Structures are given as C-alpha cells and as structure tokens.
Chain A
Amino acid sequence: MSSQSALMNSAKEALFRVQESDSVPRTIRVIALDPPSEGVLRKIMDRRWNHAKFLSAAVSTHEQHNGWHIRPAQGLYDLAGSPLNLEEEIRNADLILMLATRIGNSHAAALIGELCSTSHANVASVVLDVICASDDEISQTLAQLRPWSLMVVVAKAEEYIVDMLTSLRA
C-alpha cells in the first residue's frame, strides 16, 4: 500500500488543493528617498495595484514641467505633491518599502526608519543601481538604509520594483 505522502504529493492530488483566496492584500507604502527613485515610482504608479501607495520623501529640485514638484523642505508627499502625515502612513501600512539610488537621503531614511522602529513597522529597502553608481556610492546609500531594514536588495533594473511588488501582491 502506498504511503500517504506518495499519494498526496501527486499531480492528481494537487488538483484538490483548496482554491479559496487565503490572504487579503497587504498595504504597502513605497517611499522614494531621492528624485531618481521618485522617477521610477512615477513610471509604475499607474499600473494596477491592490493596496500599494507611492510616496516620496525626495527633496526635488527638478523643473515643474517635467511633472516633478519643487518642495521647499523635507517631508512626505504623494506623487501629486500633496504633503502627507508620515506617522499616519506608517501606522496604516503592513510594509514600508524605502527606495533609493546612489543619491539617497540620509535624513529621510533616518526619520522614516526611527518612526517605523518605534511603531514596530516592517521595513524593506531597495537600492536601485541603475545609474552607474560606484561601489562607494551604493555603499553609502546602503549604510543609510541598513539600520532600519529587515531586508535590503541592491537591484540593477528598475523593473525589479514591479516584480517585487507583484510578488508581494501589492
């Protein structure tokens, strides 16, 4: 007689796996820390997402006509340029994903990181190495993010953000 495992591991039995959804979408706040990473979020924000919200803590000096907004001070904004309450955004999130390039933003990373740490919020970070950064530059950005993040990824393609968020059902 076959063992239960031999029977249950078969392709035939896999057809009987419960097909009901076993999760609800997680609320993910993706926060760009610098202008290039904000640019990446602008490219992907209009895709179909469940509960992903795209924000920026970048201090942008880019021109208005490029669709970017000049911000007078550090803070958290949505991508239309409206200011947001950081504490509230963190409180309402299952995951905070900080996104940066070689430019980074140590002030924002520390501010967000400390608040997340106090709130026991889960933080992951992605450093996009898409603009030919040197090892030193990447290392400096990593150093800004590492103290606060449970997971840090250095990715060479900006499509990684889409793949990562899709994988997390964002």
Chain B
Amino acid sequence: MLTKEQNALLTQTGPGTPMGQLFRQYWLPALLAEELPEDECPPVRLKILSERLLAFRDSNGRRGLIDEFCAHRGVSLWFGRNEECGLRCPYHGWKFDVTGQCVDIPSEPEGSGFPKKIKLKSYPLVERGGILWTYMGPLEKQPPLPTWEFITVPRAQSITTKRLQENNWLQAMEGGIDSSHVSFLHRADLASDPLFKGTKGNQYSLNDLRPVFEVVESPGGLCIGVRRNAENGNYYWRITQWVMPSFTMIPPRGAHTVHGHIWIPIDDENCWAWSYDYHPTRKLTEAEVNSVREGKGVHVKYIPGTYIPAANKSNDYLMNRAAQKAGKTFSGVEGIGIQDASLQESMGPIVDRTKENLVSTDNAIIMARHRMLRTIKAFIEKGITPPGVNPEHQKVRSASIVLPPDQAFQEAARDALISHRKTDPVSV
C-alpha cells in the first residue's frame, strides 16, 4: 500500500508536479511517425503529461510540437492552415513556425516587430525508429536522444504500435512488472498466440505455477527474475527489465521477437500504452508483421482510423463468457493487451493504493515505487539526474535462460541483459 500522499505524488504528472517534472527529464514517445506522414500534412492534436499540444510538419519537413492554442484568442490551431513553413490560425491569420515562434500577424503594420514578441510553448519532435520523440524538460538538461535497441535496429527489424488506455499510467506500468499474473490471465495465449506459442519456455511456465521471484536494482531501474523448475534440477529464469520511469521489456520466448511497453501519461486518468516487437538480428517476417497488425501478442485491434482498441470499455471489452468457461481465455477477454487493459481500467482511473493488500511476490511493484519515490526526492531536493536518462541505462535486454541452481541470474545472465549490436537475444 501507499499513503494517499504517496499515491498522489506518483500518479500526478501535470506541469509543476514532482512526478511530472521527473517525466520531463526523459525523451518520451509522442506520436508514431506515420501520424505526420508528409510535409504540410494535417496537424495532430495530442495531450501528454496533461498539456494540450499540437504536432505538425511544415513544408520543409521540419516537425514541431507546440501549444495547441493560438496566442491571440485561444483558438485551437488544429483548425490551422499548414502552409509555407508555418501553421496559420484560421481566425485572424496569425502564423506560427515549428518552434512556436509567431512569424506573421496580418493585422499589424509590416515591420512592426510585434510577431517576434509572441512565441508559443514548444518542444522538439525528433523521429527515431518510426516514433516521434519529444523532450518536455528544461533545455539545459536535454539528454542525448534515446538509445533503446528497438528503435536503433534497422526499421525492418522492429514494429511499434500504441493504444489508448483509460487509466493512470502507474497502474498500467505496474502491470508490466507484475510477472506473477501471466500464468493466470494470459495462460491460454501462451499456447495459441502466434507471437508467443511453441517454445520450450512456455512449457516451463505452464508446468510450474509456483514461481519464485528475485528483484535486483539495476543502474536504470530493476531486473526482475522469475524462476521456475526446469529439467535435471535446473531453473528456468525469465528476466524482465524495467527502466525508469515507464519502460519495460518482457523476456523473449524461443526464436520469437522481443517485446515490451512504454507507458506515457496523457493526463492523470489516461495514458498511451506503446508496444514494440523487434528482433536484434533479423527482419521481422511477414507473418509476424501481420500478427502485430491483427492485434496479436502485446498489440491490439483498433477501431479503424484510431488508436482506440476495438475491444474497450464502451463494449465491455467484447467479454465472451463462453470462451472463459471453455478455457479459451482466462478472463473472457481476448488478446493479451486488452486482457491487461480491461483489468487495469476496471481499477478506476486512479487506483486507491491505500486499500490494496500486497503480498511478498509483489516486491517488484514495491521496489519500483520505492525507487521512484527515492528518485523524486533526490531530483527535487538535490537536482540529481534520475536513472534511465543516461543512454547507457537504456542499452538493456530481457532474457530467458536455463541455469544451474547455484547460479545467480544477475551474474550468469549479465551479458544477456545488455544489448550488444547484432547478437541474438538469450531466449528459451
């Protein structure tokens, strides 16, 4: 459990809040590159960390993320005309470039210089790995661009999707490091999902329903090891990575792709669940790409033309009690991503952590909260750069590995937990 104050501290990410300031120290995924597909394409409204913003790509291909509303009378610039290196408000013609600088006010005398005195808040928007990343913190603290392996491999080796999740970012992220739910909620999918099925590791997972957990602090966050029995007295370890504040990488299965998430607050009651699948050494197969597009693995099917899951709270997540009864799904909801989202949304927009009853196997969650609370204190009081900002902290991999019983995973799998260019993931 957390106190009411601690819960508020970790879940509120708007401007000026401690956790909001912490999030603003990182490069964050803002949009998929496909959302701004060409020069002078329509602008895109987005809210991130409780700030209403507008992304656009000008006639020279420059991308920008600016305050959504015109500095003149507060009109949404989403209605603006994207023309000649700027976005022009349709109300009175004020024009802004990708840095938010006002470059034209038609009603002012030519050469008045007044436009130079108007500038909307803006943030950089940089494409990396098919994602447009933004940094919303102070310029003097802007870190190097992100180096996650899934965005640095050739594009044909990686695919990323995003989906709207209608609850606070923290309860979604905590689901990502809660390894003990997989054997229940997702158990049917281990055998049927094309991005998961057919591995030796799945057999270990399904044969041993009493896993043992080991949580170790890493430079950027946590390594969460889950141990199950394998043959000959050996252990099957699945090692998840969590890097602050909200990056997770799920242990791989056999020769399948590696996947994970980043959870980004939209506001305090909604977040984007970013989901990636990649392989460090090979192109994704057509079948894998199709599976992702069909909402398999950690991805979802969409309402066409949106990033809203087709199964969502407005249709009770397409609950299928017959499938639940027949054991085709454990919860009655189809698809790993929506199985998670449906339960996390059912907790309410911001779960009341003063009421929860954690058990010792929830220690990854307890440790993640502990590290975040400690980090916020060090950052706010002493200005210490938080874990995960350093690009070296981002060069991580998850792993699944069989080890003799006397070997600690953090030693035996040390090399497997670091991303090395052009090496295969360690996976069973």
- Taking Cβ atoms with an 8 Å cutoff, the residues of A that contact B are 2-6, 8-11, 13-14, 17, 22-23, 95, 97, 122, 124, 129, 135, 138-139, 142-143, 146, 149-157, 159-160, 163-164, 166-169
**Whole-angstrom CA separation of A17 from B2 in the bound complex:** 18
Residue of A with least CB distance to B216: A154
Tell whether, in the assembled complex, residue A14 and residue B360 are in contact, meaning their CB atoms are under 8 Å apart: no
**A and B contact pairs by CB, cutoff 8 A, 13 listed:** A5-B314, A8-B346, A9-B166, A9-B167, A14-B352, A17-B352, A129-B217, A142-B408, A143-B408, A150-B360, A150-B361, A164-B366, A164-B367
A167 to B316, CA, bound (A): 32
- Closest chain-B Cβ to A3's Cβ sits at a distance in Å of 5
CA A25 to CA B166, docked complex, whole Å: 32
Q: Which of B215, B352, B408 contacts A153 (CB 8 A)?
A: B215
By the criterion CB–CB under 8 Å, are A22 and B367 in contact?
no
Instruction: Please tell me if B313 contacts chain A, counting CB pairs below 8 Å.
Output: yes
Q: A23 contacts B316, CB within 8 Å?
A: no
**Which of B2, B313, B348, B363 is in CB contact (< 8 Å) with A151?**
B363
Q: How far is the CB of A80 from chain B (nearest CB, A)?
A: 27
A47 to chain B, nearest CB (A): 14
A160–B367 touching, CB < 8 Å: yes
Q: Which residues in A have their C-beta under 8 angstroms from that of B352?
A: 14, 17
The answer on a CB contact under 8 Å between B314 and A6 is: yes
**Interface stretch (choices B39-47, B187-195, B288-296, B369-377):** B369-377
Q: Are B361 and A163 in contact (CB under 8 A)?
A: no
Check B156 for interface membership: any CB of A closer than 8 A. no
> B: which residues have CB within 8 A of A?
1-2, 166-167, 212-217, 269, 313-317, 342, 345-346, 348-350, 352, 355, 357-363, 366-367, 369-370, 373-374, 406, 408, 410-411
B1, A167: Cβ atoms under 8 Å?
Answer: yes
Contacts of A122 in B (CB 8 A): 360
Find out whether the CB atom of A167 lies under 8 angstroms from the CB atom of B313: no
List A contacts of B349 (CB < 8 A).
Answer: 9-11, 14
B217 near A150 with CB under 8 A, answer: no
Given A143-B408, A159-B370, decide whether A154 and B217 contact each other with a Cβ distance below 8 A: yes
Please indicate the chain A residues that have their CB under 8 angstroms from the CB of B406 in the complex: 143
Complex contact A168–B359 (CB within 8 A)? yes
Query: Are A5 and B317 interface neighbours, CB within 8 A?
Result: yes
Interface contacts (Cβ under 8 Å), in number, total: 115
Q: Is the CB of A23 within 8 A of B357?
A: yes
Q: Are B215 and A22 within 8 A (Cβ)? A: no
- Asked whether, in the complex, the Cβ of A153 is within 8 Å of the Cβ of B367, the reply is yes
A136 to B361, CA, bound (A): 25
8 further A-B contacts with Cβ under 8 Å, apart from A146-B214, A151-B213, A164-B370, are A5-B314, A5-B342, A14-B352, A142-B214, A152-B212, A153-B367, A155-B217, A157-B370
CB neighbours of A155 from chain B (8 A): 217, 367, 370
A55 to B367, CA, bound (A): 23
Contact among A8, A22, A150, A169 for B213, CB-based, below 8 A: A150
Inside 8 A of B355's CB, which chain A residues have their CB?
17, 22
Task: Please tell me if the beta carbons of B408 and A14 are within 8 angstroms of each other in the complex.
Answer: no
Q: Does B212 lie within 8 Å of A11, measured CB to CB?
A: no
- Shortest C-beta distance, A103 to chain B (Å), equals 17
Across-interface contacts of B216 in A (CB, < 8 A): 153-154
- Knowing A168-B358, A169-B357, say if A152 contacts B316 (CB, 8 Å): no
Closest B residue to A162 using CB positions? B370
Smallest CB gap from B362: residue in A: A167
Contacting B411 at CB < 8 Å: which of A2, A135, A152?
A135
**Pairwise interchain contact B315-A3, C-beta atoms closer than 8 A:** yes
Closest 3 CB pairs of A and B: A14-B348, A124-B360, A5-B313
Contact across chains for B316 and A3 when beta carbons are under 8 A apart = yes
Interface centre among B212, B359, B373 (most CB of A within 10 A): B359
Residues from chain B with Cβ under 8 Å of A3 in the complex: 313-316
From known contacts A11-B269, A169-B1, infer whether A152 and B314 are also in contact, taking CB-CB under 8 Å. Answer: no
Give chain B nearest CB distance to A35 CB in angstroms. Answer: 23
Of chain A, the residue at the smallest CB distance from B360 is A124
Within the complex, what minimum Cβ distance (angstroms) separates A130 from chain B?
Answer: 11
Within the complex, the shortest CB–CB distance from A120 to chain B, in Å, comes to 12
Task: Known A9-B349, A151-B360; judge A163-B366 contact (CB<8 A).
Answer: yes
Among B217, B316, B370, find the residue whose CB has the most chain A CB atoms closer than 10 A: B370
